[in-house]
Structure 1
Amino acid sequence: MLTITKEFHFSASHVLDRLPSWHPCARMHGHNYVVVLELSAPRDALTEAGFVRDYRELDAFKKWMDDTLDHRHLNEAMGGVSPSAENLAVWIFDLWSERLPELTAVRISETPKTWATYRPAARGGEDAP
């Protein structure tokens, strides 16, 4: 199996309103997010050029991210889903996995020291318990 990744950046605000009111993340705040898409394919499924997928084909994701998430309030952009890093990773995966069938994981960073990764157990199957 061969794997490629590409990193993207956006800035946005959110409120984690399901936390206790004393928690600092229950107040509106923002992050400079890092999103990493991971795409994988078996060696015998590479393109004629030898790619899992041409990185330039990820330009559509960058445009979507800039239009949908950059300098937005994630509580609104995500349609009521609690905008934790974990939920953001799942949300992006679910939105993009049909357009990018090689997508195997989405990683989200809110700070240089924190990451959340969503990697389904198997494509087309249920997540592991």
Structure 2
Amino acid sequence: MYRITKEFHFSASHQLFGLREGHPCARLHGHNYIVVVELAAEALDETGFVRDYHDLADLKSYIDEHLDHRHLNEVLGDDCVTAERMARHFHDWCAARWPEVSAVRVSETPKTWAEYRP
């Protein structure tokens, strides 16, 4: 299996509801997010790619236009915008465009990652 990844960055705020009293994530806060999209294929296309990285420019446009420097609870219409749910959101968005998408990882901090892999 061949695998490629591409990384995207954006900054945004969110707030998590339903957490125990005093939990820091219950307050409005923000992150410098990193999204890594993984694509996989058993065979390469005629140019030797799993998929041309330039094809993924649509994801950068989506992030820049809809998510960067926004409040994710409002944009995504969810009271619980966790990294796990964002990984699923990005996976579904990407998989609708590129069938080779095999996983998406989302990082909120340099030490934390969430992944969705069907």
Q: In the alignment, what sits opposite 1:9?
A: 9
For 1:1-129, what aligned pairs fall within 5 Å after superposition?
1-43=1-43, 46-80=44-78, 82-120=80-118
2:34–2:107 CA contact under 8 A, matched in 1: yes
2:17–2:79 CA contact under 8 A, matched in 1: no
RMSD: 0.9
Counterpart code for 1:86: E
What residue ranges of structure 1 are gaps of 5+ in the alignment?
Answer: 121-129
Q: Which runs of 4+ in 1 moved over 6 A?
A: none
Scaled by the length of structure 1, the TM-score of the pair is 0.88
Q: Give a deviation string over 1:46-99, Cα, whole Å, max 9, x none.
A: 211000000000001100011111001010111225210000001111122110
Pairwise CA distance, 1:114 = 0.4
Identity between Structure 1 and Structure 2 (%)? 59
Counterpart code for 1:28: L
Q: What is the CA–CA distance in structure 2 between the aligned matches of 1:107 and 1:81, rounded to whole Å?
A: 21
Cα distance, 1:40–1:81 mapped onto 2, change above 3 Å: farther
Q: Give a deviation string over 1:19-62, Cα, whole Å, max 9, x none.
A: 1231000000000000000000002xx21100000000000110
How many corresponding residue pairs?
A: 118
